[in-house]
Amino acid sequence: MTSADTYNLNNGLKIPALGLGTFTVTDEKLLETAIDTALEVGYRHIDTAYIYRNEHIIGKTLKKWFDSGKLKRDQVFVTTKLSSDGVHPERLENQLKESLKNLQLEYVDLYLIHFPIGTKPRAPGDTATDIIAEPTDHISIWKIMEKQVEDGRTKSIGVSNFNEKQIENILKNAKIKPACNQVEVHVYLPQNSLVKFCQDNGIVVIAYSPLGNPGINEFRAKLGRPPQSLPDMLNDTLIKQIAEKHKKSAAQVMLKFLLQRKIAVIPKSITPSRIKENFDLFNFSLDDSDLKLLDSLKVGEKARVCNFSNLHGFKNHPEWPFPSEE
């Protein structure tokens, strides 16, 4: 990657346009191999979260790279996130400190509020039905997020899964503006209005599940949850035709579509060949006809993979962030 393959944050820092997502990966060997492969190829952004329960594996792997001298700390952009049970004035800072301990880092480059709804503390083994939503005051939480920047625990702060109204509320009261909003964005769920709002306000959009998260049902099975219907974009005829035209894969076309919208992407993979393939995005461009065709594929809310509606009390919460339809 070159310096052109980064986006400018509103605090003067840069975020790599492409990162490695790590959601659902808790196998130490698989994740270590994935990170090793990604860093060797050229990825310089690793995305995790407290709730993923894999920060310690990432920390161990990064320390190996830093200790070897292959990379310096300031060459790797690390994102982690505050879980819903940390969205509380008395719990936020302690959770970030725990994340830093797990990651073996003095600071992270970006710290996000993972979801706009706070919950009561969870006990080990709690299921989705055990998660209880609490009243959530974004302004008081944001002030504590700002303190984390001031105290040097994170260089940037932002949000995830927030809608326009929620972000606007923070912007009106913020001393430090959100640098990013990480949301589900892909060809079938382009989120045009939200993306435009963020970009107009100097907030970089980071797309999670940019390929529609085809492996999420395996994760759901581990939790004892039934499979859900998933958008099969990888086999979409039109996307495959555009991929063939550019001699690229369907996944590469979908990721490039987002990059050309100035959206950062964090595709998750533990397969070395796919990690390498997902990085090979910077030697081709989609033309205007490609972009127009891809934009015509939008489905809207029906194509949302991560809707969190199974969590107790979330969908009826005042801070529920998703529309009933796009």
Q: Which of 43, 50, 52, 208 is catalytic?
A: 52
Cα 81 to Cα 65, 116, 172, 182, distances in angstroms = 22, 12, 23, 10
- β-partners of residue 7 are 15
Beta bridge partners of 14: 8
Structure tokens at 233: 């974009």
**Two tokens at 174?**
């913020």
52 is catalytic: yes
**Distance in angstroms (rounded) separating the CA atoms of residues 122 and 85:** 7
Question: CA-to-CA distance for 181 and 157, rounded, in angstroms?
Answer: 10
CA-based nearest residue to 323, from 136, 132, 193, 131? 193
Residues listed for the chain: 326
Residue 139 token pair: 């302004």
The number of helices, as runs of H, and strands, as runs of E, in the chain is: 11, 10
- Closest alpha carbon to 278 in 47, 38, 49: 38
Residue positions annotated with a catalytic role: 52
